[in-house]
Chain A
Amino acid sequence: MGRVIVELLPSHGHKVERRYVFDNGSATIGRSYSNDIILDDPFVSPQHLVISANGKMVYVRDLASENGTEIVGSAPLMNQVAKIQSGEEICVGKTKLKILLPGHPVEPAKRMDNLAALRSFLDRWSVAAVFSLFVMGIFVWASYMEQPSDKFWEKEVFGIVWGYLLLALIYVGLLGVITHSRIHRAYFKRYLALSNAGILLSYLHTEVGPFWYFGVFNNGLIAIAEYVISFGVMLVMLWASARLTKDFVTRKEVIKFAGITLVLIVLTAWSTEDIKIGFSAKPSYPTQLAPYLKPWSESLPLDSFLKDSGPEIFKPVDSADKI
């Protein structure tokens, strides 16, 4: 009889909650205090099961428990013995356990890699502060250049800073609350870095936008592209969040967040002028102009532009419009 290891798994996720090591190769499991592993699960019987290691196999014996012992993927044991391999999971009551033998293979050690270095770099307060100030500076400058005036520095700048803080902190707050509820750490600085990166990325996109859309003449299409891009940015941010705080935001949750983001974006899209269903008294036409760009094919002569436009606009109107 060699050593056997039992891992207590959480009901969600993969992070091992507790690990028990038995050098004598066997352990009793149940709700009673006489057991080696005492489970606080009302669906577990006082004397529920015994496991014992034998060579390369482990025997699981159910001790006539109320709800039986389930080896994941096969029928529950009721007062029976079953043989399982190292690494297999069993369910008792609502509790999941993983049984391992000492020879169970483990992954080779990871190097202290760039990602790890990045994590510790981002965890510095000075980095968080400098990066935030930098992004906020860009934000403020861009707004100033749109409508330069002294009034800006006296009044409007506060609105811009407030807007930036809201934008940055909403994301940090949301993810922070989730990770904190799970592992009692908010990863404030890492999320702040990501939030800043997202804002920076969005800003760069608005700068480059006119170049993308220079030759697009359908405003609805532009609006849709805009939403797809902001959705993409959001996904990248979520993915990066999961990478930076590994194990605490799972892939499943990223998908959930992506779903929520998608709903939010669709709702925003719904309410904007370009894709709006309601009546708009203003014409919607492309206003994107970019320096240096010129049409890549020959421009239309004026008369054919005008000649085509009228009939194009007044193609058979849907019956609602005819009075």
Chain B
Amino acid sequence: MKNSDRFSIVIFFWFFATFIGSANAAWGLTEKAQQIYERSSASVYQIQIIDLKSNEKSTIGSGFRFSKKGLFATNYHVISDVVATPERYRIEYVNANGERGDLILKALDVAHDLAVLQGEASDKAYLSFATASMSKGDHVFPMGNPLDLGMTITEGIYNGLVGEDLYQRILLSASLNGGMSGGPAFNSKGKVIGINVSIEGNDLSYLVPAEYLLKLAGEITGKEETQEWQAVIQDQILEKYNKVIHKILKAKWSVEDFGSLKIPQNIAAADIKCWGKTEPEDIPEKQFYSYSYKWCRSESNIYLSSDFSTGTIGYYFISLGSKSLNPLEFYKVYSAELSETDFLPYVGEKDVTEFRCQSDFVKIAGHDWKGSYCARQYKKYPKLHDVFLTFAALGEAKQGHIVRIGLAGLDEPLARRFLQKFLGGIQWVE
């Protein structure tokens, strides 16, 4: 039961991260792609985050002009450095001819990974958005500047929406690469349907649906230039979690058997995916105890900075048992399992406080458990917390059950309400 096993299934690459692989796969531009490229390339730019001291780019992404007033769209993760340390960076756009211009952050949406930037108003071309809905199998044409190689267009297949309502993403079969983040993706009529945001696995890409960008841009009018971005980010994360958790809390959960327990069945199937594994006791193979686990984890997370993501929900149910070990030996295995702290990516001292834990004997489903509840606070977003909870059932000599839950980036009382329902739903099968 190594961590690497558990997480190797989902390997998540942020778009701008250096990506070695199919960079120069034959991109066979169809005629359609050619048309779209010719019509739209003047409105698609490279977005550069310029380090003020060296006056060189430190991060690149893509973006596009979408209004006469000079509004540009890109991903939040492209410009996150500017939000974190505005005194060290500024934003520029560069077009295909090498012309540059300054951009100012106008609005952001961390929950959808979007940012709206303000350039100078001009008569330059801008892109417009699709109104027709898409269906699976439709062609999509993402554009952007991968790895600083120059503006490219590629072709992919629309594969529907994934994720929770209000926070959905377009799943696209296309080969996108780092640097294309923030670029537009067109339908076959050359209208923008979404913004390139991330990739996963082989040729699986995600787009942010254009409607979220329109909504964000719609909120801009009349807003002040300077913003308390941290407060905005905090509120957006809180809002997302509130919606997600309240939906989960309202839903009627069904239960399923797991060892001697009845546990809540997959509680939010749209976003939280579950996996399981069972290993029987096998003495010739030196497996002296049997274990079975089910682990679930939300697929989406919220990017805050290059080394700090949040917004995930994850939980484990583990059942251990042994016939061949004596109780002392078995409890060593059991204690070791209790000390595992999954769902906690390493976050540095600049971003979070240390965990504080509260532990006690707790009664759930008529049985005694040893439980610990730990939480830490985000330093820049004081209303946000990471919560970690772990419970081990007591009293049996050669059998054990562990429940482990991690919630990243929500307000702490909300976490407790969720845990109350979640743990309260556990029953014991005699």
Binding site for B on A (CB under 8 A): 145-146, 148-150, 207, 210, 215, 217, 219, 279-295, 297-303, 305-310, 312-314, 317, 321-323
Contacts and interface: CB of A to CB of B under 8 A. Distances in A.
B320 to A, nearest CB: 11
Interface in B381-405: 382, 388, 390, 392, 394-398, 400
B414 to A, nearest CB: 10
A71 B196 CA distance: 97
B355 interface: yes
A217 to B, nearest CB: 4
B332 A145 contact: yes
A210 B331 contact: yes
A309 to B, nearest CB: 4
A289 B424 contact: no
Contacts of A317: 353, 377
For A149, A280, A289, A322, the residue with the greatest tally of chain B CB atoms inside 10 Å of its CB is: A289
Nearest to B419: A306
A197 B357 CA distance: 37
Q: Is the interface of A mostly helix, strand, loop or mixed?
A: loop
B379 A295 contact: no
Given A148-B288, A283-B341, A291 B327 contact: yes
Contacts of A287: 335-336, 338-339
A29 to B, nearest CB: 68
Contacts of A298: 363
Contact of A291 (B331, B346, B352, B388): B331
Interface stretch (B82-90, B187-195, B364-372): B364-372
Nearest to B386: A283
B129 interface: no
A25 to B, nearest CB: 72
A322 to B, nearest CB: 7
B356 interface: yes
> 6 smallest A-B Cβ distances: which pairs?
A285-B372, A283-B355, A291-B327, A283-B374, A295-B361, A217-B359
24 contacts: A145-B288, A146-B336, A148-B286, A148-B288, A150-B286, A210-B331, A281-B344, A281-B352, A283-B341, A283-B357, A289-B331, A289-B370, A289-B400, A290-B331, A291-B331, A292-B397, A294-B395, A297-B361, A298-B363, A299-B362, A305-B360, A309-B358, A310-B416, A321-B377
Nearest to A304: B362
Contact of A283 (B286, B368, B372, B398): B372
A146 B339 CA distance: 14
A306 B372 contact: no
Contacts of B269: none
A295 B416 contact: no
Contacts of A294: 368, 394-395
Interface size class of chain B, counting residues whose CB lies under 8 Å from the partner chain: 35 or more
B347 interface: yes
Given A299-B362, A307-B416, A310-B373, 4 more contacts: A148-B288, A289-B338, A298-B363, A313-B375
Interface in B283-342: 286-288, 325, 327-336, 338-339, 341
A156 B151 CA distance: 54
A312 B372 contact: no
B420 interface: yes
A292 B377 CA distance: 37
Contact of A279 (B287, B338, B349, B360): B349
A306 B389 CA distance: 10
B372 to A, nearest CB: 4
Contacts of B377: 314, 317, 321
A286 B372 contact: yes
Q: Taking chain B's interface residues, is the majority helix, strand, or loop, or is none over half, making it mixed?
A: mixed
A144 to B, nearest CB: 9
Contacts of B398: 291
A321 B379 contact: yes
B368 to A, nearest CB: 5
A292 B327 contact: yes
B364 A302 contact: yes
A306 B419 CA distance: 8
Nearest to A214: B370
Given A294-B395, A306-B420, A314 B375 contact: yes
A317 B355 CA distance: 12
A281 B386 CA distance: 11
Contacts of A150: 286
A31 B111 CA distance: 95
A281 B362 contact: no
A282 B368 CA distance: 25
B375 A145 contact: no
Contacts of A217: 359-360
A177 B380 CA distance: 57
Contacts of A149: 286
B423 interface: yes
Given A217-B359, A281-B348, A317-B377, A289 B354 contact: no
Nearest to A312: B358
Nearest to B339: A287
B51 interface: no
Nearest to B374: A283
B41 to A, nearest CB: 44
B264 to A, nearest CB: 14
A145 B330 CA distance: 9
Most chain B CB within a 10 A radius of its CB, from A145, A309, A321 = A309
B330 A291 contact: yes
Contacts of B424: 302-303
A284 B424 CA distance: 24
Nearest to A323: B379
B3 to A, nearest CB: 13
B412 interface: yes
B413 interface: yes
A322 B341 contact: no
Contacts of B413: 310
